[in-house]
Structure formats: C-alpha cells, structure tokens
Amino acid sequence: MSGMPTGPYQDWAKQKLGFEYNDIQLLITALTHRSYVNEHRKSVSEHNERLEFLGDAVLELAVTDYLYKHYSEPEGILTSWRAALVNTTSNAKSGEELGYEPLVRMSRGEKHGSERARHQILANAYEAVIGSIYLERGYNDAAAFIEEHTISKLDGILESGSWRDPKSHLQEISQRIDGATPVYRVIAEDGPDHDKVFTLGAYVGDKLMGEGTGPSKQAAQQQAARAALEEYKKRAINQRKIGR
C-alpha cells in the first residue's frame, strides 16, 4: 500500500461496521474509483469494479433469500420488491447514510462531477463494500449488513407503494377515474449532450398531472408518473374532505 494511511478506513469500519478489517486493503479498494487509478498508475493498480461485481451478486442473493423466507407473494411481486430495494437510487442512499463518501478515492475531475455521477459512484461503492465484507467476514456478516442497510427500507417501500411501476400504476388509475390513458410529452431539455437533463409532463386528456426530470426520457417519465399519482392521491383526499 506504500504509505497509504489506513487509520480513517479502520475507524470508519469500527464505527459503521462494528469490526476492524484484517485486510484493510479490501475496504480501501472498495472505495477506490477507476478514475483514481488512472491518475495514480505508479502507486495504485486496483479499483473497485471487481469487488462491485462480487457485492452485487451477494446483495441480490441476500435480498432474494430474505424475501423468499419471509413472504409468500407470487414471483412477479417479489421481483418488483427486490428491484425497488436493489437499484442505484437505493444503494446511493445507503452510501450517503453510511457516510463513506469522504473516504472514496476518485480523480479531481470526478470530485467536481455531476450529482448523477456522484450518486452512481456512491451506489457502486456500496456494492463494493458488500463485496469486501463478504471476503473479510463471510456471507452471514454480509447478509446482516444488507439486512440493516437495504432490507430495512422494505416497510417504507411497501407502505408508499413505490415498488409498483409508476407508469403502469398511473395508467390503471387514470383509466379508472378519467377514462383516459396518460401521454408523456417533453417540456424541456437542458445541458450538454453527454449530461442532458430531460423534463417531461404526464398528461391525462389535456391536463398536466405531473412533471418529472431525469437523465433520460424514460427516467423523466417515471418521475412524472409518480408526481401524477401524488396528484390523484391529493384529489382523492380533497374529495373525501368535501364529502364529510
């Protein structure tokens, strides 16, 4: 490791994971982005993508195992629940909560990158940390970590219904209430081609029910559908109040 200060990494491990690494290089590598290696080729040779590959598999297995053992829903529903738990947004949120961002080694350029790039780096590091725990402590400890930091979000996902595909759900609601199918239209496109942000609206009939933004039209449609569902929810609440 050629003089690599390990103290902050061991301190983080003790505080957040409850143990010290016998091989602290596993954690350091888990928190090393490819761009850092490109800037330090003479002193650093390994980034976190192999650990990310391993951690992704352990994460999916642990979540699948938990859902199978604790719920009797059909395969399609369990798959949707798993997808809501294991994705870039969820993993990045777990990374933020764990607070390892100051320890992530990345290039100077990446440190000043977009918010979307930052979330991707945090999410990938989360899977790589899982891979490092698996190698250092074994599957049971990795699964316990996943249960605490990923599976713990399941109750909130089930309560909010966010596991459902928002576009499909919106179509069901709009057809039932308004007899119309949602249409998605581009409202704005901002940013350079390599980092474009799209704003789309979800229209039911001629009414704009919700807007969404995202790095792709598909992502913006999903956000717009969620906003439209919230609008339908507010409408239902208001109608109940009026009917009292």
- What DSSP character marks residue 191? S
pLDDT at position 4, please?
A: 57
Distance CA(169)–CA(167), nearest Å, equals 5
User: For the chain, how big is the Rg over CA atoms in Å?
Assistant: 21
Which residue among 52, 110, 127, 136 is the active-site one?
Answer: 127
Catalytic residue among 56, 96, 195, 231: 56
The average pLDDT across 219-239 equals 88
Identify which has the larger pLDDT, 144 or 113. 144
- The predicted model gives 44-60 an average pLDDT of 97
Inter-residue contact 122 to 101 (CB < 8 Å): yes
pLDDT higher at 211 or 230: 211
List phi, psi (to 5°) of 203: -110, 135
Average pLDDT for the chain = 92
Beta strand 197-204 with 207-214 is antiparallel
Quick check: 66 pLDDT over 70?
yes
Q: Is the pLDDT of residue 3 over 90?
A: no
Residue 11 annotated in active site: no
Take residue 168 and report the two structure tokens written for it: 């499909």
Whose structure tokens read 């650990």?
51
What is the per-residue DSSP string for 204-230? ETTEEEEEEEESSHHHHHHHHHHHHHH
CA distance 9 to 26: 10
81 φ, ψ (degrees, to nearest 5): -60, -45
Q: Model-level pTM greater than 0.85?
A: no
Active site residue 56: yes
Q: Looking up tokens 């449609």, which residue turns up?
A: 221
* Whole-number pLDDT of residue 16: 97
